[in-house]
Amino acid sequence: MQRGDGVHVTSVDLREGESPEHLLTRFRQAVQRDGILREIKQRRHFIPKSERRRIARAKAARRRRRAKAKLGII
């Protein structure tokens, strides 16, 4: 869930009869699913928009090469 100011708020409610260990497991899964840690790692350093586009083009080219190699098209 994301608040209006761009802050991610991930919460899980304790289910009846649920152990704290399982609650923690569900919380970790929710954080992983929301991509919070990935976003934090990306924001650790500023990357200019031109650099982000260059990286995205390189990733797309890599995906295309791998897809062609998988199909046997060189």
44, 72 Cβ separation under 8 angstroms:
no
Q: Which residues contact 3 (CB under 8 A, 6 or more apart)?
A: 9
pLDDT tens, the chain, 74 aa long: 555 566 668 889 989 999 999 999 999 999 999 998 888 898 899 999 999 999 999 999 999 999 999 888 76
pLDDT at 42: 87
Distance CA 74, CA 58 (A): 18
pLDDT at 44: 94
Distance CA 55, CA 37 (A): 20
